[in-house]
Amino acid sequence: MNKNTFILKGNILYSKTKTELSVTEQGFLICFEGISQGVYPQIPDAFQNLPVIDCGDCLIIPGMTDLHLHAPQYPFRGIGMDMELLEWLETHTFPEESRYADTDYAQNAYHIFAEDLKQSATTRAVAFGTIHPRATELLMDNLEATGLKTFVGKVNMDQNCSDIIREPSAKTSLDVTVKWLESVAGKYQNTKPILTPRFAPTCSAALLEGLGKLQKEYRLPVQSHLSENLSEIAWVKELFPWSLFYGDVYDHFGMFGREAPTIMAHCVHCPEEEIKRMKNNRVYIAHCPQSNINLASGIAPVRRYLEENIPVGLGTDIAGGANLSMFRCIADAIGMSKLYWRLIDQTKKPLTMEEGFYLATVGGSSFFGRVGSFAPGYEVDALILDDKNIRTTQNLSARKRLERYIYLAEEGGKIVGKYVAGKRIF
Amino acid sequence: MNKNTFILKGNILYSKTKTELSVTEQGFLICFEGISQGVYPQIPDAFQNLPVIDCGDCLIIPGMTDLHLHAPQYPFRGIGMDMELLEWLETHTFPEESRYADTDYAQNAYHIFAEDLKQSATTRAVAFGTIHPRATELLMDNLEATGLKTFVGKVNMDQNCSDIIREPSAKTSLDVTVKWLESVAGKYQNTKPILTPRFAPTCSAALLEGLGKLQKEYRLPVQSHLSENLSEIAWVKELFPWSLFYGDVYDHFGMFGREAPTIMAHCVHCPEEEIKRMKNNRVYIAHCPQSNINLASGIAPVRRYLEENIPVGLGTDIAGGANLSMFRCIADAIGMSKLYWRLIDQTKKPLTMEEGFYLATVGGSSFFGRVGSFAPGYEVDALILDDKNIRTTQNLSARKRLERYIYLAEEGGKIVGKYVAGKRIF
């Protein structure tokens, strides 16, 4: 029998809709060749002969997608947090990223990152590397080894940043990108390239134009940053005075959702026109609440994005965000939506736990296809959660245990099993 | 030699001022009979004969004070967070607190709480119990056994709450409180009673008046809640129409800092007059950032309080806050001060890491006397922090390691030793 064919028994929860959980206490999740056949209170006759993995009283939930993070920034997460974005980039980020020219350093750092990500709640991730093609390939090698499924981008940037991290010209940036794409083509099962202009300010028009062409030629998805910080937005307007709004720059060069699946991180301060364009173009928003706190960027209007049916997922934005935990990311997203409601707009109701959970699972995971749910037809990414060390005197429902786990994952929770597309990771 | 006399060797950090750390890498903290004699790069001649405890490459920092938490709410932390204060109290808090009428339940729950608190970064805490005198005494028994130093309050509330948790009259509430005070008088070395009107809305004028008298008679410190939520503030004005502001109610009855050391939790929405009164009366503010997020209360103006030299510390406010970790509490305080700056008032600079650390140590600990620092004359509350599992490729200064620990305590940090007033806890 295919080893990705089995039944998980335990307390199974997943998002039935954006606002509603499916909860089956002591139920059975049927995984057939990596694909869910649904969750049942009893094993259906057709699946009686499948091996059952009994997870006891554990919770079983879908794996989570970290829709935005910077792998090379992992070594300095939690450091230098007393700054805003642009100063932080020059002071901490660019000097650190320049070190990845050294492949030994890169291998060492990415090995740590990949190992920690493997142990986390994340089953899928979309990651920035650096400008360095060899280091980025090492990142991909290390991620491939984890069994997680990821998109990884070699960063492009040819202006407006420290020399140490600037590519010498648009042409060089593009040539190196092509070389990297050729080098990794077909090399991995789980790890795919994604086109990664760092953000509009550090990309010349020539570079953006070339990247737009590469996108078409290689049919690549795209990731970048958008409307994170007010100074950044003003800067983009200065650099691209013809643009109607920040995202219009990416769109002008064919990298804003119309031509290719696209993720834009942050979207804290989007004007109306930008939101409309994102909606029309089906741009994914990677909401990174902790990063938006740490870099004093503000609070993104996630409720609005949900109301507009713009695809939204969550990102840790390592190292703008310090924590790798997607549970923490959910808690932060819920918390910030409460402050958005209290401080900015009382027509925008806070996210419920169910909605936060949806964002971290189906919301972001849909970038990878039918992922993030246990409904029939979805790839089985699953986490087995042991919460017995989050001690209580109460008998809690599975739903309450999940809520509690989101808030207390790092104070006693333990992920004791993890599957990606039906394959056991640990 | 007195067993509370020793030298700790390691990377020692403490707040020299509100804004500045003292950092001594591979230094020596001299503890003589529980009192710091200072931190030195080499052991001074006078202390050469003291035993040295080598903490290797660990960080050594002062223990932290949790200035506001509700011990009976520990069993449901992280649950039911999708509500505002007044609804949350009726739905979750009061039903749970009513269970502490059952002393078996109370013993079980408080034992868990005390054990977890012992393992945490907290060396001192100021805690609410419930209305139940016997349960509150059990809480004190359990806390005493940990070696931590705490103030614990039997809660008083005789109106405007579910029957299940309301004391039948002011007189009964006062009588029971006296009985509790007599029962615990002189019983503990580390655990002291504190007068605890729950908050103005649930206390009749007769009760508040009686408590004011008890305060004088027993010379007790006081704790309560203040200006947490806008509906709550409006309610207080309705109930006590003569009051100039919420805190004026407590002051009127002699429980607002003038007569006794007083802690007011939250202070999110204080009007000018209230801030002025707190300043004049030297009222301690327990800033509880995570609770203010979870219950959508808002963001307290901590920078303002620091500028005014009002005494401020941090509180987890379990279970309004879900996390027991004071490191998390510091990170939340810093983060919320950034959003306060961004969203509310750009004249109020965000807290630096140094200021957040100060609040959690000296800021709140000063409620207990000379505590929270390693400067000569302070009681030695100390934490030994092992951060080797927060992996990095970088060689970090002790200061950066501390910043990182604040953000990542729960993602790889480990407290491997803890002292309270020079006594080893573990």
Question: Nearest 5°: phi and psi at A68?
Answer: -160, 115
Q: Tell me, yes or no, if B381 comes closer than 8 A to chain A by beta carbon.
A: no
In the prediction, which pLDDT does A110 show? 98
Distance from CA of A29 to the nearest CA of B (A): 26
Residue type, A306: L
Distance CA A344, CA A301 (A): 9
Contact B410, A411 (CB under 8 A): yes
Query: CA-CA-CA-CA torsion for B282, B295, A348, A355, nearest 10 degrees?
Result: 150
Chain B contacts of A325, Cβ < 8 Å? 411
Q: Is the dihedral of CA B302, B305, B307, B312 positive or negative?
A: negative
DSSP B91: I
Distance CA B283, CA B74 (A): 26
Distance CA A422, CA A417 (A): 12
Residue pointed to by tokens 């009127």: B252
Closest Cβ opposite residue B393 in set A79, A109, A290: A109
Structure tokens at A187: 């090399």
Closest Cβ opposite residue A296 in set B325, B341, B406: B341
Structure tokens at A10: 């335990």
Distance CA A396, CA A354 (A): 17
Would the CB atoms of A403 and B112 count as touching at under 8 Å? no
Chain B contacts of A295, Cβ < 8 Å? 338
Q: Is the dihedral of CA B155, B159, B162, B165 positive or negative?
A: positive
User: Around Cβ A186, how many Cβ atoms within 10 Å?
Assistant: 6
SS3 A383: strand
Distance from CA of A121 to the nearest CA of B (A): 12
Counted across chains A and B, CB pairs separated by less than 8 A come out at: 139
pLDDT tens, B272-291? 999 999 999 999 999 999 99
pTM of the model: 0.98
Residue pointed to by tokens 């504190």: B194
Taking Cα atoms as reference points, which of B329, B320, B328, B313 lies closest to residue B297? B320
Distance from CA of A67 to the nearest CA of B (A): 20
Would the CB atoms of B78 and A322 count as touching at under 8 Å? no
Q: Tell me, yes or no, if B335 comes closer than 8 A to chain A by beta carbon.
A: yes
Can you name the residues that pair with A126 across neighbouring β-strands? A151
Would the CB atoms of B298 and A323 count as touching at under 8 Å? no
Q: How many residues in chain A?
A: 426
Would the CB atoms of B79 and A408 count as touching at under 8 Å? no
Distance from CA of A406 to the nearest CA of B (A): 8
β-pairing, B149-153 vs B52-62, is: unpaired
Contact A313, A126 (CB under 8 A): no
Burial category of A409 from C-beta neighbours within 10 Å (exposed 0-12, middle 13-18, buried 19 and up) = buried
Residues of chain B with pLDDT under 70: 1
Distance CA B314, CA B330 (A): 8
User: Around Cβ A176, how many Cβ atoms within 10 Å?
Assistant: 19
Contact A153, A224 (CB under 8 A): no
Contact B51, A381 (CB under 8 A): no
In the prediction, which pLDDT does B345 show? 98
Residue pointed to by tokens 């040819």: A158
Please give chain A's pLDDT, 426 residues, in tens.
Answer: 688 999 999 999 999 999 999 999 999 999 999 999 999 999 999 999 999 999 999 999 999 999 999 999 999 999 998 888 888 899 989 999 999 999 999 999 999 999 999 999 999 999 999 999 999 999 999 999 999 999 999 999 999 998 999 999 999 999 999 999 999 999 999 999 999 999 999 999 999 999 999 999 999 999 999 999 999 999 999 999 999 999 999 999 999 999 999 999 999 999 999 999 999 999 999 999 999 999 999 999 999 999 999 999 999 999 999 999 999 999 999 999 999 999 999 999 999 999 999 999 999 999 999 999 999 999 999 999 999 999 999 999 999 999 999 999 999 999 999 999 999 999
Distance CA B150, CA A112 (A): 41
Chain B contacts of A353, Cβ < 8 Å? 81-82
In the prediction, which pLDDT does A397 show? 97
> What is each CA distance from A234 to A89, A241, A286, B347, in whole angstroms?
17, 10, 21, 21
List Cβ neighbours of B392 (8 Å cut-off, separation of 6 or more). A74, A75, A76, A112, B404
In the prediction, which pLDDT does B2 show? 82
Contact B353, B404 (CB under 8 A): no
DSSP B217: H
Closest Cβ opposite residue A400 in set B79, B323, B331: B79
Contact B200, B245 (CB under 8 A): no
Residue type, B206: A
User: Around Cβ B377, how many Cβ atoms within 10 Å?
Assistant: 10
Chain B contacts of A403, Cβ < 8 Å? 78-81
Concatenated DSSP letters of A50-106 = SPEEEEEEEEEEE-EEEEEEEGGGGGGTTSS-SS-HHHHIIIIIHHHHHGGGSHHHH
Distance CA B142, CA B117 (A): 11
Q: Is the dihedral of CA B34, B38, B42, B45 positive or negative?
A: negative
Contact B384, B393 (CB under 8 A): no
